[in-house]
């Protein structure tokens, strides 16, 4: 299985995609000794084994992809680290084709495209599929292989709040910088592993 997350400049399927991450995991990964130290170590392992891509936003505007003022204003309010990872342009930002190829290579190295891919809600799937099509490429994962983390958490966690659930012994406020795709993937994996 894979966890997928991306950051955008809007909430439409045609929004500019700033960055993306995909992380391989398996439900058998849940550890028995769920001490805080072990949970933090597991979270960090997922962050480190993620495939991260930072995209060139200017190229995407040339492809007709869009951004919104409201989303750009929202980004300014996020942490400096999140802005550095995704929002600010960098000289080594990848083209759409290069970034898609990098994600595709990771998928193929971890079982191929015929596996379940989790994401938080449907926006990531729609933007990703649209991004692939913007350069004439078919999506990397079939539409029916996507699953929603929020729904799973709401259904499975005894105490769920808006698609999030507490992981006893792991405090995201201390260990997670949100809106960094590989961090968000790791947190979503942890929430699934400890509530299934």
* Closest to 145 (Cα-Cα) out of 181, 183, 119, 174: 119
Its domain, for residue 65, covers 2-193
| Residue-level pLDDT at 196 | 63
Give me the sheet containing 2-8, strands edge to edge: 51-54, 17-24, 2-8, 117-119, 146-148
What's the rounded Cα separation, in Å, for the pair 51 and 29? 18
pLDDT at position 53: 98
pLDDT (mean) for 47-66: 96
Number of independent structural domains in the chain: 1
Q: Domain of 74: which CATH number?
A: 3.30.420.10
- The pLDDT tens digits for 84-114 are 999 999 999 999 999 999 999 999 999 999 9
Per-residue pLDDT tens over the stretch 138-163: 999 999 999 999 999 988 887 777 78
Average pLDDT of the segment spanning 21-28 = 93
Compute the C-alpha angle 144/60/107, nearest 5°. Answer: 40
Q: What is the dihedral of CA 156, 194, 106, 10, to 10 degrees?
A: 60
């Amino acid at each position: 299985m894979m966890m997928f997350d991306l950051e955008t400049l809007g909430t439409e399927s045609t929004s500019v995609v700033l960055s993306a991450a995909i992380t391989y995991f398996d439900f058998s990964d849940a550890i028995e000794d769920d001490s805080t130290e072990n949970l933090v170590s597991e979270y960090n392992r997922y962050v480190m084994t993620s495939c991260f891509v930072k995209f060139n936003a200017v190229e995407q505007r040339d492809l007709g992809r869009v951004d919104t003022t409201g989303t750009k204003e929202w980004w300014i309010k996020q942490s400096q680290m999140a802005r550095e990872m995704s929002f600010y342009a960098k000289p080594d930002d990848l083209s759409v084709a290069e970034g898609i190829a990098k994600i595709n290579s990771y998928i193929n190295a971890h079982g191929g495209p015929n596996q379940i891919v989790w994401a938080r809600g449907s926006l990531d799937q729609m933007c990703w599929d649209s991004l692939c099509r913007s350069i004439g490429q078919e999506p990397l994962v079939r539409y029916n292989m996507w699953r929603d983390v929020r729904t799973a958490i709401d259904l499975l966690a005894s105490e769920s709040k808006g698609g999030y659930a507490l992981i006893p012994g792991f405090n995201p406020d201390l260990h997670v910088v949100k809106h960094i795709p590989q961090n968000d993937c790791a947190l979503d994996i942890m929430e699934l592993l400890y509530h299934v």
